[in-house]
C-alpha cells in the first residue's frame, strides 16, 4: 500500500467540490480513460475581477488523483486567474503534505487541467483539452511526447527513467521507450538539449496567459525588484489582461509620494523595453 499522508487520505475519503459547474465560465480537461486517468475542471469566474469564485472537478483515477484534484479546487478558489496560473504540480503535492514519488503524475495532471481551464476562459469559455502539441511521441502507451518529458525533467530535476515514469507515466506500460527516455535524460542533464529557440521570439500578444505571467515575472524578478529592494520597496504581480498588467506596490513603495512615477516611469518602462511596447501597468 502507498504511504499516503493524512491529508491525502482526508481528501480522498471526503473530496471537496466534486461535480461540474452548470454554465461554467471555463472548462479544462486532461488525460483519457484509455490512459487510466482523466480530470475535468470547471470554474466560475468573476468577469470584473477575474477571481475564481467556484471550482469543481470530475476525475477518474486513484486516490492521489482524487486528492490532488480536490485540494487544487480549494487552492484556486478566491485567487485571480493570474495567481492561479502560478500554481505548479509541486505546489499541489506540497499542499497535500507530499505524494508518493510513483504518484507525482497526479499532481501534474491537476496543473495541466488548470492551464487548460485558464486557456478556456481566455477563449470565451469553450472547453479546452490539454494536449501535447508534438509529433514526436516517445511513449505511445500513454501518448507522452519528448517535449513533455523534457519539461518534467527540467521542472522537477529528474535524474532517472524511474523518476520520469513517476511524473509523466512514460515507460510505465510496455517499457519499450525506456531506452529513449534515458537518452533524453542524458541530453537534458548534460545541457545538450537547449531551451526551445522560439520561446523568446513569440510576440507578447500571441502568448497564453500562463506564458505572459511567466515572462512578466522573469522581468520583475531580474530587472525590477532588485532596484526596488534597494530602497525597501517591492512589487507584486496581481493580474494580466491582454497588455494591461496590474501590480501592487509593497513596502516603502506603497506609500511613497513618487509611487506613480515608479509605476509608470520605471516598472512600465522596463516591461515595455523588455517585452512589448503595448504594455500598460496599473495599480491593483
CA distance 132 to 137: 9
Residue 129, C-beta contacts closer than 8 angstroms, at least 6 positions apart: 28, 29, 30, 116
Give the three-class secondary structure for 242. coil
**Per DSSP, which regions of the chain are E strands?**
26-32, 37-45, 52-60, 128-129, 137-139, 144-145, 233-241, 244-251, 280-283
Residue 157, C-beta contacts closer than 8 angstroms, at least 6 positions apart: none
**Cβ distance 29 to 19 under 8 Å?**
no
CA distance 28 to 166: 23
The reply to whether 35 belongs to the active site is yes
The reply to whether 141 belongs to the active site is no
DSSP state of 55: E
Q: Of residues 106, 139, 141, 177, which has the active-site annotation?
A: 106
Query: How many C-beta neighbours within 10 Å does residue 23 have?
Result: 7
CA distances from 45 to 25, 65, 137, 244, 282 (A): 6, 24, 35, 19, 21
Residue whose C-alpha cell reads 500578444 in the numeric block: 205
Catalytically active residues are: 35, 106
Amino acid at each position: 500500500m502507498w504511504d499516503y499522508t493524512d491529508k491525502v487520505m482526508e481528501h480522498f475519503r471526503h473530496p471537496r467540490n466534486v461535480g461540474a459547474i452548470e454554465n461554467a465560465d471555463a472548462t479544462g480537461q486532461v488525460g483519457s480513460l484509455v490512459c487510466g486517468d482523466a480530470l475535468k475542471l470547471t470554474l466560475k469566474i468573476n468577469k470584473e475581477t477575474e477571481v475564481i469564485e467556484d471550482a469543481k472537478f470530475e476525475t477518474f483515477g486513484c486516490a492521489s488523483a482524487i486528492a490532488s484534484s480536490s485540494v487544487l479546487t480549494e487552492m484556486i478558489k478566491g485567487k485571480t486567474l493570474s495567481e492561479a496560473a502560478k500554481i505548479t504540480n509541486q505546489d499541489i503535492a506540497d499542499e497535500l503534505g507530499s505524494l508518493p514519488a510513483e504518484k507525482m503524475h497526479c499532481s501534474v495532471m491537476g496543473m495541466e487541467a488548470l492551464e487548460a481551464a485558464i486557456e478556456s476562459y481566455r477563449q470565451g469559455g469553450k472547453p479546452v483539452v490539454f494536449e501535447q502539441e508534438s509529433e514526436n511521441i516517445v511513449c505511445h502507451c500513454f501518448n507522452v511526447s519528448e517535449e513533455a518529458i523534457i519539461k518534467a525533467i527540467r521542472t522537477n530535476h529528474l535524474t532517472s527513467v524511474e523518476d520520469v515514469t513517476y511524473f509523466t507515466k512514460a515507460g510505465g506500460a510496455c517499457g519499450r521507450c525506456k531506452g529513449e527516455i534515458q537518452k533524453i535524460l542524458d541530453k537534458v542533464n548534460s545541457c545538450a538539449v537547449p531551451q526551445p529557440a522560439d520561446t523568446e521570439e513569440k510576440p507578447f500578444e500571441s502568448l497564453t496567459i500562463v506564458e505572459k505571467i511567466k515572462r512578466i515575472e522573469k522581468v520583475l524578478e531580474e530587472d525590477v525588484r532588485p532596484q526596488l529592494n534597494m530602497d525597501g520597496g517591492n512589487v507584486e504581480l496581481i493580474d494580466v489582461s491582454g497588455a494591461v498588467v496590474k501590480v501592487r506596490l509593497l513596502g516603502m513603495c506603497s506609500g511613497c509620494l513618487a509611487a506613480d512615477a515608479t509605476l509608470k516611469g520605471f516598472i512600465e518602462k522596463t516591461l515595455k523595453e523588455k517585452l512589448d511596447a503595448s504594455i500598460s501597468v496599473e495599480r491593483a
